[in-house]
Structure 1
Amino acid sequence: MVFEKVVEILRNYKEEPELEVTMESSFEELELDSLDTVELVMEIEESFDTSIEMDSELKTIGDVVGLIEKAIA
């Protein structure tokens, strides 16, 4: 459920409803720069009513999903 919601937010953010996203998709592969990443994470935090610690280890969609799952557990 978390992955699907993150993908939905990402597709809306990029305005690409058919965007292919996997857990291994990196922000770089998805053509997200650092500003895009921050804005996207803020939208995800708001959607899940949680907070995600941004750091250099946050590189893939799977990383974000893992942090959200841990935060809402």
Structure 2
Amino acid sequence: MTKDEIFNKIADIIDDRFEVDRDKVTNDLNFRSDLDADSIDFVEFIMELEDTFGAEISDEDAEKLSTIGQVVDYIYNHQDKAE
């Protein structure tokens, strides 16, 4: 999966979960400051990412993810390259 494909799927999740206009989703969008996501929102978002991408994101790694771009890079770098 390319970074663009990953970004588009994540943008759809952000649009649905946080009710943010899809056109306003950028790589620099910050979960806490731009989306006002609390810890429960963020955990639910991470769980949805895991389901969507079939990836496991450790709590330690999740704590380091604060922007959409970081999540895209993480998913891209941890996807099964055999797909």
Whether these two folds match at TM > 0.5 is yes
* Superimposed CA distance per residue, residues 7-59 of structure 1 (whole angstroms, 9 cap, x where no aligned partner): 10111112x26241110111121111111011001001100111122333211
Paired residue for 1:60, among 47, 61, 67? 67
C-alpha separation in 1, matches of 2:58 and 2:69? 14
Identical pairs, percent:
35
Which structure 1 residue ranges, 4+ long, deviate > 6 Å from structure 2?
Answer: none
**Structure with the larger helix share:** 2
Q: TM-score if structure 2 supplies the norm length?
A: 0.76
Q: CA RMSD in A?
A: 1.5
- The count of residues paired between Structure 1 and Structure 2 equals 72
- Runs of 5+ unmatched residues, structure 2: none
- Runs of 5+ unmatched residues, structure 1: none
CA contact (8 A) 2:27 2:69 kept: yes
Report the secondary structure of 1:39's partner residue.
helix
